[in-house]
Chains A and B, each alone.
Chain A
Amino acid sequence: MTPTTATHCPYCALQCAMTLTGDAGGVTVAGRDFPTNRGGLCKKGWTSAELLSSPERILEPMLRQPDGSFAVATWDDALDLVAARLAAGRAGHGADSVGVFGGGGLTNEKAYQLGKFARLALGTSRIDYNGRFCMSSAAAAGNRAFGLDRGLPFPVEDLDDASTILILGSNVAQTMPPFIGHLAGARAAGGLIVVDPRRTATARLTENGAGSHLQPTPGSDLVLLLGLINIVITENLADLDYIDRRTVGFDELRRSVGQWWPERVQAQTGVPVRQLRDLARRLAAGDGTYILTGRGVEQHVDGTDTATAAINLSLILGLVGTSHSGYGTLTGQGNGQGGREHGQKCDQLPGYRKITDPAARAHVAGVWGVHPDSIPGAGIPAVELLASMGEPDGIRTLLVHGANVVVSAPNAERVRAGLAALDFLVVCDFFFSETAALADVVLPVTQWAEEDGTMTSLEGRVIRRRTAVAAPAGVRSELWIFQELARRLNAPSSFRTDPAEVFDELCRASAGGPADYSGLSYGLLDTGEPAYWPYPAGSTGTPRLFQERFRHADGRARIHAVRAGVTDAPAQTGGILTLITGRLLEHYQSGAQTRRVPELVLARPEARLQLHPATAAQLGVADGGWVDVTSSRGVVRCRAEVTGDIRHDTVFLPFHFPGEQSANRLTADTTDPVSGMPEFKRTTVRVRALAGGERGTHG
């Protein structure tokens, strides 16, 4: 009989449960019943196993040759070289000249070990990860307001009973399709409200009486939320009893939103007063109201403040920490939650502890068996870290794990130039991603179906990833690579390779921290019992957070009054428009994986610039015609998709594609002062139709 393995999808944070059947000869995927996906899978999930046997897979370590080509090497030779270069870089330019860039797709075990490896084996503070482009704003806002950041502080099934769900800047119908099953109840009650400059597949779920769609101009989300708060307060819709019992800071909020009366908000957002008032009243009226934010409102230079405004709205309505309502942020990457808890963030130690907190340092040093002073201090966030490549006192040697920064980071051409300026670049990947293609050494690593580990889903539930098939002979786990490099670098402490042992260590390191896993083990997880963190030893976990108190000393949530800055948007004439970036159903992140699945590529082979028919007519752009999209940082050349589903002042590009279709050639590397989140959703560009003879190289 063919063996079957119960595991979860390799892609997004919904972590749909799946059953893998087969062996190295061929693996088939089937949906498995689980609360998040109820047996369903999307197109990405169904086709995920195709990558296991992809002909493009890297099967042995690859070393760049003097002529620029790659040649196969033995693991010993490759690791010896990497260790020697790491040691030389540290000796020559200091520990902080060596950088580590992680990913939100790594298992908890790998993310934990990566942070430990950076601090102990490399002695560097310069570690951060691609979650900085993803969850950092919502995480900062959640920590500030609640004292804790767990994306959904409630099980996802709680949404089923809601009568009103407000989704701000998230296209779940394409990014995590099975999730929309949890919106059915709110849709039946006419209470799904989607805020998005595009009429996305998710916005369309509001049609036919299922709810409403608000279509603000890009970058105006914060004003929109301040306006909703203003209406809730002036129309006496706020839950004053809750505010009094459970929060501090309301008076300042009240004063700060006084300037955002509805007509003024209409003028800045393009959302009519009627819709604003209806929405505020609906949010206050429902028994069972959830407010959810996504990258659309978070990926801004004021993303932390925008997420904070959404939290403030939730707090004054009395939603958070109740059994029937709540606020949440929809985590994106597969382990975007666990990946932001265990030490690959520049200012963080395992258990979501602050690296600057002496008690946290002492605890973790105790688990690692080192002196607290040997753990470096806080580093710098991702955009800054990447920008320091090639700069004096910047990064000269870089390790990349589970990230494709040449495609996913803002101002991508600057990142490419920075990588080229490095002394040495090491990339661990399954494929020659656009970043791996620039490396000096590429180390082939295991895929999801070839490894054991844990992931923490968007609802803060820790789940097991299990090995279904053996990895190809020349492929290794990162855990093994860390051990080998640590040994060559004479690192203190121990670097185990068994995921269960690493997890046990992670649990001990997290004990007492905000994200406390100390009551967890593979044995417990394998029983299938739901395990929501914090899960301290002796407890049964925490499906619903904040029921009694928030994680501040006084137990109260912080209402942190935020202000909208003055934005001088440029006049939109002669093809100047606002670019927003986002995702497609068929692709995941930088596309390094999904662009190698034939079925997905067939459905979505290239990036297309969405623009409104009226705008297209003005610019002489035909549907399917070629356009140049230009910002001061770069040019994208692609085909146009003319659609009434987008605002006339806005254009959209998916960011999954490389080269001349790479949306992040256009985006700026300016960041949120609190979270370090780049501005992905308000880029001024100029769109130009190409003449008959001009066209892209891929057409």
Chain B
Amino acid sequence: MAEPAPERIVLVGYGPVGARFVEELLPVVRAGLATLTVVGAEAADAYNRVLIADYAVGRAGREALEVTDTAAAVAAGVSIRTGTSVTAISRTRRTVTLGTGAELPWDRLVLATGARANVPTLDGVTRLRRNLMAPPADAAILDSAGAALPRGVVALRDLDDAHTVLGAVRTGGRIVVLGAGVLGMELALAAAKGGAEVCVVYHGEIPMNRNLDRGGGTVLARAARAAGVSMVNHSRAESVLFHVDDDGAARFDALICADGKQIGGDLLVLSCGTGARTELAHLAGLPVSTGILVDESLRSWADPAIHAIGDCAHVAVPAAPGASLARPAGGPTGLIGPGWRQAHRLAADFTARLTGRAPGTASDTTPAELGAPGGLAAQAAAVVMLKAEGVDVVAGGDTAPDPWDSEPAGHSDGCTATPVSVSQWADPEHGRYVKMVTRGGILTGFVCVGMPRTAAELTLLFERGSELPADRSVLLRFDGPDDVPGAGGDAFAPDATVCSCNGVSVGTIADAAAAGNSTVACIAAATRAGTGCGGCKARIGEVLTRFAVPTPS
């Protein structure tokens, strides 16, 4: 019997999520079970967009952004076409059309087209209505569609944007950041540290208001101000003013807010969130919400041969036929962790299907009866962490509940949901704030500012779905100066160990002293204390002094 023809897999998008998918699929490509063609719009190989703020302020080099070995993928037989756009998907003919006009056939199509920066409505900045528009054939204008941002205005999304920002940081320029989400705050803090003068302008009362509650946001704003960043809240940007440079070109001059404030600067960085690149899917008739709708197996709701992963994917349970098409829960998080988990999951599923093996991790030592892993990996709740040296902010889940919220009334059908309880610690003077929202002892949300060790532990507890200690204050002490468990006790308590090599306690030495052993050498002979590494001899002397038997006079 003839070998079946290898499955033709086409991946659209070569960002970090696409690259992870490629890497994990290499074994089946090498084995000849599948062919893989990657089409990426950016000219560069996949790079780590998470670090783009670091790159934009000169804190990370270009090499540090590399996340994949494209040469190795090519050597394994993967065809990689960068700088190429896809303009259409044909579901009936099972092809994609490239910007060049060429068509690529596929048996399985994976969309990892990512997200683009939102450009807000500002007088002076061209706004695009994109949802009905076909992707351009020229990959270089995939997001701008030819309507480039004015000079001195960037949306920090790709390497070119980063270079523009880097120029402003290097010259110590004044940077206005519009939007105080994670990326905006990371950029602002890093640029300020890099020597730029930075001002963050945002709508609401607090920065990172999607992730933080009022307490956490307020402490973060204070920390940012302490780090030299101007934080301008309650400000709705309306328009952009330009001046004409010596070369005759118009350049950003100032941002004008609804209340008449003018905030001048050399560079305006738009950090107003992202939107999934869904046009291709939309045009192909695939269901789209805030991203391309896929089920828990990352298959399109409408076509099981088409998959979406990463920032372009909206993972949700498909609506039953005839059910309301109201916006499904969830949606892309804009975070890399979930995207990588999805890439891993999808590659594992493909591999299992192609090799005829059951999916699953061989190294998993977790017996099922002892508790299932924390939900579908692809859907695990995301934790947001601010990457900024000296400003520690971590948050996850629903952080809105307040300790004094009144309990919602029970359902009329008698169902009694476990109530949410909230524990909180606020010490704004020292830049510390923690909120733990739990249901049945398990975190459903948390905020942690200025307490890195506590943040790390809360992250682990949240991601695993583990039970918190009943005494929540245990979790607050990790960052205290007294976090030396068990230490700080009486160094001369009878059971305090003096010689660890021989397990000799203060009490044993005191007894030996009482029996007439008055020197370190005598104590060694009597108890073996000090006869190992010898490091405790001075301490034996101290114990002897303390417990010396008074010489009868």
Binding site for B on A (CB under 8 A): 31, 38-43, 46, 173-174, 177-181, 184, 199, 201, 204, 207, 217, 233-234, 236, 251-252, 254-255, 258-259, 261-264, 266-275, 277, 301-302, 565-566, 568-574, 576, 585-586, 603, 613-615, 617-618, 631-632, 643-645, 648-649, 668, 670, 679, 682-686
Q: Which chain B residue has the least Cβ–Cβ distance from A217?
A: B460
Q: Is B465's CB within 8 Å of the partner chain A?
A: yes
Q: List residues of chain A with CB within 8 A of the CB of B460.
A: 217, 267-268, 270, 649
Given contacts A184-B535, A649-B460, A573 and B364 within 8 Å (CB-CB) = no
Contact A617 B469 (CB under 8 A): yes
Given contacts A266-B385, A585-B503, 11 further A-B contacts (CB under 8 A): A40-B534, A177-B500, A180-B500, A207-B484, A236-B61, A267-B456, A302-B363, A570-B373, A573-B465, A631-B370, A686-B370
- Residues of B with C-beta under 8 A to A617: 469-471
CB distance from A227 to the nearest CB of B (A): 12
Residues of A contacting B148 with CB < 8 Å? none
Q: Is B474 an interface residue (CB 8 A)?
A: yes
Q: How far is the CA of A679 from the CA of B66 in the complex (A)?
A: 32
**Contact status B532-A269, CB under 8 Å:** no
B50 interface hit (Cβ, 8 Å): yes
A-B contact pairs, 13 of them (CB 8 A): A43-B528, A178-B533, A181-B535, A259-B48, A272-B392, A275-B452, A571-B465, A571-B467, A572-B464, A618-B467, A632-B369, A644-B486, A685-B370
| Identity of the chain A residue whose Cβ is nearest the Cβ of B473 in the assembled complex | A614
Contact status B48-A573, CB under 8 Å: no
Which residues of chain A are near B69, meaning CB under 8 Å? Answer: 251-252, 255
- CB contacts (< 8 Å) of A264 on chain B: these are 337, 385
Contacts of B457 in A (CB 8 A): 270, 648
Quick check: B341 and A684 within 8 Å, CB to CB?
no
0/1 interface trace, chain B 42-86, chain A, CB 8 Å (1 if under)? 000000101100100001110111111100100000000000000
A565 contacts B456, C-beta separation under 8 Å: no
A40 touches B469 (CB 8 A): no
Give every chain B residue within 8 A of A258 (Cβ-Cβ): 48, 51, 64-67
Interfacial chain B residues near A684, Cβ < 8 Å? 365-367, 370-371
Q: Give the CA-CA distance A566 to B338 in the complex, in Å.
A: 12
Question: Quick check: A618 and B470 within 8 Å, CB to CB?
Answer: yes
Using Cβ atoms and an 8 Å threshold, which residues of chain A touch B50? 261
A43 touches B486 (CB 8 A): no
Residue of A217, A570, A614 contacting most chain B CB atoms (<10 Å): A570
Closest residue on chain A to residue B385 by CB atoms: A263
A262 to B50, CA, bound (A): 12
Is the pair B531, A571 in contact by a Cβ cutoff of 8 Å?
A: no
Cα A181 to Cα B532 in complex, Å, equals 9
Residue of chain A at shortest CB distance from B64? A234
Asked if B485 and A42 sit within 8 Å, CB to CB, the answer is no
Residues of B near A217 (CB, < 8 A) are 460
**B358 interface residue per 8 A CB criterion:** no
Task: State whether the Cβ of B397 lies closer than 8 Å to any Cβ in chain A.
Answer: no
B100 within 8 A of A: no
Contact A267 B531, beta carbon cutoff 8 Å: no
Assembled-state Cα–Cα distance A632/B465 (Å)? 21
Residue numbers in B under 8 Å from A632 (CB-CB)? 367, 369-370
Are B471 and A180 in contact (CB-based, < 8 A)?
no
Measured between beta carbons, the chain A residues less than 8 angstroms from B63 are 254
State in angstroms the CA–CA spacing of A177 and B499 once bound together.
10
Which residues of chain B are within 8 angstroms of A615 by Cβ–Cβ distance? 469
Chain A hits for B463, CB < 8 A:
267
CB distance from B513 to the nearest CB of A (A): 20
Is there an interface contact between A259 and B340, defined as CB atoms closer than 8 Å? yes
Interface pair B371/A570, CB less than 8 Å apart: yes
Pick the residue among B369, B385, B501 that contacts A43 (CB under 8 A): B501
- Residue B466 at the chain A interface, CB threshold 8 Å: yes
| Shortest Cβ distance from residue A252 to the other chain B in the assembled complex, whole angstroms | 6
- In the assembled complex, which residues on chain B have CB atoms less than 8 Å from the CB atom of A586? 503
The answer to whether B455 touches A266, judged by C-beta atoms less than 8 angstroms apart, is yes
**Closest approach, in angstroms, between the C-beta of A150 and any C-beta of chain B?**
24
CB of B441 within 8 A of CB of A273, answer no
- Contact B531–A649 (Cβ < 8 Å): no
Contact B361 A683 (CB under 8 A): no
For residue B463, give the distance in angstroms from its CB to the closest CB of chain A.
7
The answer on a CB contact under 8 Å between A645 and B464 is: no
- Residue-by-residue, is B387-398 near A (CB-CB < 8 Å gives 1, otherwise 0)? 101001010000
Given contacts A255-B67, A258-B67, A572-B467, contact A46 B367 (CB under 8 A): no
B residues within 8 Å of A by Cβ? 16, 48, 50-51, 54, 59-61, 63-69, 72, 336-337, 340-341, 344, 361-367, 369-374, 377, 383, 385-387, 389, 392, 394, 441-442, 452-453, 455-457, 459-461, 463-467, 469-471, 474, 484-487, 497, 500-503, 528, 531-535
Assess whether B371 is in contact with A201, with CB atoms less than 8 Å apart. no
Bound complex: CA of A180 vs CA of B502, how far in Å? 13
CA distance A585 to B68 in the complex (A): 46
From residue B111, how far is it (CB to closest CB) to chain A in Å? 21
Report A-chain residues with C-beta under 8 Å of the C-beta of B485. 199, 643-645
- A598 vs B105: C-alpha distance when bound (angstroms): 77
Cross-chain contact of B373 among A277, A568, A573, A683 (Cβ < 8 A): A568
Report how far A178 CA is from B386 CA in the complex, Å.
Answer: 44
The 8 closest A-B pairs by CB, nearest first: A644-B485, A568-B373, A177-B501, A272-B452, A614-B469, A572-B466, A632-B367, A571-B465
User: Which chain A positions have C-beta within 8 A of B501?
Assistant: 40-43, 173, 177-178, 180, 585
Query: How far apart are A247's CB and chain B's nearest CB, in angstroms?
Result: 16
Picked from B16, B66, B486, B532, the residue with its CB within 8 Å of the CB of A199 is B486
Q: Max chain A CB contacts within 10 Å: which of B48, B337, B474?
A: B474
Q: Which of A251, A571, A683 contacts B442 (CB under 8 A)?
A: A571
Choose from A178, A643, A645 the contact partner of B532 (Cβ within 8 Å).
A178
* Given A177-B532, A617-B469, also A207-B487 (CB < 8 A): yes
Inter-chain contact A571/B452, CB cutoff 8 Å: no
Contacts of B500 in A (CB 8 A): 173-174, 177, 180, 201, 585
Closest Cβ of chain A to B446, distance in Å, is 12
For the complex, what is the distance from the CA of A273 to the CA of B465, rounded to whole Å? 22
| Cβ-closest chain A residue relative to B465 | A571
- Which residues of B sit under 8 angstroms from A565, Cβ to Cβ? 361, 363
Residues of chain A within 8 A (CB-CB) of B392 are: 272-274
Q: Determine whether the beta carbon of A603 is less than 8 Å from that of B503.
A: yes
Give every chain B residue within 8 A of A574 (Cβ-Cβ).
467
Nearest A residue (CB) for B441: A573
Q: How far is the CB of A212 from the nearest CB of chain B, in Å?
A: 12
**Which of A177, A645, A682 has the most chain B CB atoms closer than 10 A to its own CB?**
A177
Q: Are A670 and B533 also in contact (CB < 8 A) when A271-B456, A585-B500 are?
A: no
Closest-by-CB residue of B relative to A679 is B365
Chain B residues whose C-beta falls within 8 Å of the C-beta of A269 in the assembled complex:
456
For A42, what are the chain B residues with a Cβ–Cβ distance below 8 Å? 501-502, 532
Known contacts being A40-B501, A615-B469, is A204 close to B487, with CB within 8 Å?
A: yes
- Whether the pair A568, B377 counts as a contact (CB closer than 8 A) is yes
In the complex the two chains form, what is the Cα distance from A645 to B489 in whole Å?
13
Chain A residue at smallest Cβ distance from B485: A644
A571 in contact with B341 (CB, 8 Å): no
B487 — which chain A residues lie within 8 A by C-beta? 204, 207
CA distance A273 to B383 in the complex (A): 15
Q: What separation, in Å, do the CA atoms of A43 and B470 have in the docked complex?
A: 40
Complex Cα distance A270/B462, Å? 12
Closest residue of B by beta carbon distance from A616: B469
CB distance from A635 to the nearest CB of B (A): 13
Do residues B361 and A272 form an inter-chain contact, with CB atoms below 8 A? no
With A and B bound together, what is the CA distance between A684 and B374 in angstroms?
14
Contacting pair A569 B363 (CB below 8 A) = no
**B383 to chain A: which residues have CB within 8 Å?**
267
CB contacts (< 8 Å) of A686 on chain B: these are 370
Q: How far is the CA of A47 from the CA of B245 in the complex (A)?
A: 87
Q: Distance in Å from the Cβ of A376 to the closest Cβ of chain B?
A: 28
Least Cβ–Cβ distance between B452 and chain A, in angstroms: 3
B390's nearest neighbour on chain A, judged by CB, is A274
Contact B470 A38 (CB under 8 A): no
